């Protein structure tokens, strides 16, 4: 028995006793069993995927081992995941993202640098609740570390191809693509090809074998054949490959990336973003685009803030040798960028690992300092009309020297709902979830408030979904 008691109990007796406590579970697995299989799987996966084994000969050599280990791991893990019965199927299922019909082979996961998340696999969502990103529906995993997903929005089906696709890491979120229709080719370039030759050769070698599977996934996300054909054309363009690998000239490399993204996602929204990002890289960040409704509005704001924010070191009056860092009078573009960053879903495009806008990565809690800087700039320089709005409660909270846990966002959400701005109120709850997570506070309350807001507003599908998630 566990925790003392009869020490003479044999492993088989103990196993039977534990099985009797789990009705409907034919066998239970020890952690050591699962870790053994998982670690072996990881090692074989690295061996197959590594740069020294990019072609079919090496893949075929290990494919049988990988398949056998996958089957063993699945057989061991399934009893644990099946202990909780699947909840009732809702009529809203047609509106939820469902990729069950799509199956990716190992080659496809190598080329795409992602693997799919199962339709009823709630484990990733439970991680999101803890990380403050419960408002993102995951559908794929990148390098077993970051998650790709779509945002939950009132009245919008997750199958809508105009929804953006987001990359989640902890509490940090960045926009991968402004629409799901172009997400796969855009992400594959970012994840596999952008860094040089490492990803190009395996992708070229496997393309004919994986084309049909990746095309099925691309179309399920709302993409067209033309946009995936554009990725294939980029993949086999030797001139682009050479220029992409040229690390001696960053301007030429960035120009190459711009040309590639123009082919992968020719939408006006992305054209505006690319042009402005290049201007910021060239030290000309003035005249930030004004469309705040765009799926890339926060991405633009982050690029602008990084380019425009400056601190100066000045002597402290009366202090010998002491200096203080101050921010010069902000421009109107810097104020607008700070305002966009401070309102709504704080974790979304709140900070990047680098100022390079072509391939940002989510960095979670590190975005807190950026958002606090933005809030402090607003607090001292924001116009009176902004200060009278409910969102100013968020600015005051983030600008404070005291630890902030999102209470201002929650109060702003309540006021916005009273004023008839329910969708903006929902965005404020996403922001509160980010600050709760970065204060390491349980985030069930923002999820619960989101479900209650959805119920009051008659967003039936969203309410049912969030209620089920909070019950987990």
Dihedral (Cα; 281, 346, 404, 429), 10-degree rounding: 170
pLDDT truncated to tens, each residue of the chain (472 aa)?
A: 334 343 344 434 444 344 433 333 333 333 333 333 333 333 333 333 333 333 344 444 444 444 444 444 334 333 333 333 333 333 333 355 668 788 899 999 988 988 887 654 566 666 777 778 889 888 898 876 788 999 999 989 888 999 999 988 878 888 888 899 999 999 998 877 766 667 788 889 999 999 999 999 999 999 999 999 999 999 999 998 888 887 677 777 778 888 888 899 888 888 888 888 878 877 777 788 877 777 888 888 888 888 888 766 656 565 565 555 566 678 888 999 999 888 878 888 876 655 456 667 776 656 788 899 899 999 888 899 999 999 999 999 999 888 898 999 999 999 999 999 999 999 999 999 999 888 766 557 899 999 999 999 999 989 988 888 877 6
What does DSSP say about strands 323-326 and 312-315: parallel, antiparallel, or unpaired? antiparallel
Residues β-bridged to residue 116: 140
The DSSP symbol for 292 reads T
Tell me the C-alpha distance between 442 and 282, whole Å.
Answer: 43
Element (H, E) at 182: none
Q: Distances from the Cα of 427 to the Cαs of 104, 361, 414, 416, 422, in angstroms?
A: 34, 22, 11, 10, 9
What does DSSP say about strands 146-151 and 172-177: parallel, antiparallel, or unpaired? unpaired
Tell me the C-alpha distance between 304 and 332, whole Å.
Answer: 11
Backbone torsion region of residue 190, taken as left when φ is above 0, otherwise alpha when ψ lies between -120 and 50, otherwise beta:
alpha
Tell me the C-alpha distance between 351 and 353, whole Å.
Answer: 7
Give the distance between the most distant pair of CA atoms in the chain. Answer: 78
Quote the pTM value: 0.74
CA angle 246–300–137, rounded 5-degree value: 95
Tell me the C-alpha distance between 94 and 157, whole Å.
Answer: 8
């Amino acid at each position: 028995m566990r925790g003392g008691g009869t020490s003479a109990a044999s492993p088989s007796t103990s196993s039977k006793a534990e099985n009797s406590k789990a009705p409907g579970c034919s066998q239970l697995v020890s952690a050591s069993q699962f870790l053994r299989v998982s670690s072996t799987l990881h090692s074989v996966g690295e061996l197959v995927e590594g740069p020294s084994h990019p072609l079919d000969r090496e893949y075929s050599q290990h494919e049988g081992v990988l398949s056998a280990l996958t089957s063993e791991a699945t057989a061991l893990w399934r009893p644990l995941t099946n202990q909780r019965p699947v909840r009732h199927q809702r009529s809203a299922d047609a509106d939820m993202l469902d990729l069950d019909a799509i199956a990716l082979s190992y080659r496809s996961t190598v080329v795409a640098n992602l693997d799919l998340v199962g339709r009823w696999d709630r484990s990733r969502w439970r991680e999101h609740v803890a990380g403050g990103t419960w408002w993102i529906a995951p559908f794929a995993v990148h390098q077993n570390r970051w998650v790709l997903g779509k945002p939950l929005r009132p009245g919008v089906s997750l199958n809508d191809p105009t929804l953006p696709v987001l990359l989640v890491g902890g509490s940090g979120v960045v926009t991968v693509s402004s629409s799901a229709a172009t997400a796969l080719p855009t992400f594959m370039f970012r994840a596999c090809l952008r860094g040089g030759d490492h990803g190009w050769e395996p992708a070229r070698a496997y393309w004919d074998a994986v084309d049909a599977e990746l095309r099925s996934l691309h179309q399920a996300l709302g993409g067209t054949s033309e946009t995936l054909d554009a990725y294939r054309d980029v993949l086999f363009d030797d001139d682009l490959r050479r220029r992409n690998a040229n690390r001696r000239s960053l301007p030429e490399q960035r120009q190459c990336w711009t040309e590639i993204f123009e082919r992968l996602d020719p939408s006006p929204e992305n054209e505006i973003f690319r042009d402005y990002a290049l201007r910021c890289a060239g030290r000309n960040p003035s005249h930030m685009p004004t469309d705040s409704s765009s799926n890339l509005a926060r991405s633009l704001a982050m690029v602008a803030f990084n380019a425009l924010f400056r601190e100066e070191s000045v002597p402290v009056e009366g202090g010998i040798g002491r200096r203080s860092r101050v921010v010069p009078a902000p421009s109107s573009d810097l104020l607008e960028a700070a305002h966009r960053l401070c309102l709504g879903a704080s974790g979304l495009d709140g900070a990047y690992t680098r100022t390079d806008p072509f391939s940002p990565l989510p960095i979670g809690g590190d975005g807190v300092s950026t958002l606090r800087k933005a809030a402090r700039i607003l607090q001292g320089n924001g116009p009176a009309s902004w200060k009278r709005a409910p969102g100013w409660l968020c600015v005051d909270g983030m600008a404070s020297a005291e630890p902030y846990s999102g209470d201002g966002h929650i109060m702003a959400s309540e006021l916005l709902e009273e004023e008839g701005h329910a969708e903006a109120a929902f965005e404020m709850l996403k922001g509160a979830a980010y600050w709760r997570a970065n204060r390491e506070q349980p985030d069930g309350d923002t999820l619960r408030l989101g479900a209650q807001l959805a119920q009051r507003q008659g967003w039936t599908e969203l309410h049912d979904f969030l209620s089920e998630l909070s019950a987990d």
